[in-house]
Amino acid sequence: MTYETRECGIRDVTAGDGVVIYSPSNIYGATLGDDVFVGPFCEIQGQTIIGARTRVQSHSFICEMVTIGEDCFIGHGVMFINDRLRGGPARGDRTRWESTQIGSRVSIGSNSSILPVRICDDVVIGAGSVVTRDIEVPGTYAGSPARRISAHEVP
């Protein structure tokens, strides 16, 4: 049996001022805005953009083709998904992957799963939620699948 070992780490990252990344993390081909914080044991893949002052807590996975706005909070163990596996496993077929856009001032609770969706500004996603559809109205969403459970005033 043969195998290939690849190094983990931080490579080909464009980072703004004041970025903090705790090790061990695996980040490659991503763009991080000013004052972004990344906790330990995170993977952030290529073609990902994370806006200024966003915090990504430990054990989170942000796959390719995700854009996250400014002043967001990504809780512990949040998983982003870019392949819905429609019609069976894609087996790395990037033509079947979809993008995700997260607005600004979005808070995503720990252990949530985010499928390829668009989430508008000023949204709170409750812990353990599964977001399967676009969120176009500010408010608090929770559950599996996530549904709006309350509105909140936007300052």
- Comparing 13-22, 57-66, 89-98, the range with the smallest average pLDDT is 89-98
Q: What is the largest CA-CA distance in the chain?
A: 59
In contact, 139 and 153? CB cutoff 8 Å: no
- pLDDT reported for residue 88: 62
Which CA distances in Å does 141 have to 46, 71, 91, 104, 133?
A: 28, 18, 32, 16, 11
- Average of per-residue pLDDT across 128-144: 97
Would the pLDDT of 52 be above 80?
yes
**In 3D, which of 122, 56, 64 has the Cα closest to residue 90?**
64
And the tokens for 65? 């083709």
In contact, 118 and 132? CB cutoff 8 Å: no
- Average of per-residue pLDDT across 87-112: 85
Can you give the C-alpha Rg of the chain in angstroms?
Answer: 16
- pLDDT reported for residue 56: 98
* pLDDT band (50, 70, 90) for residue 83: confident
* pLDDT band (50, 70, 90) for residue 89: low
- Average of per-residue pLDDT across 26-48: 97
CATH superfamily ID and name for 10-83+97-150: Hexapeptide repeat proteins (2.160.10.10)
- pLDDT reported for residue 92: 65
pTM, rounded to two decimals = 0.91
- pLDDT reported for residue 150: 86
- pLDDT reported for residue 153: 58
- pLDDT reported for residue 76: 98
- pLDDT reported for residue 77: 98
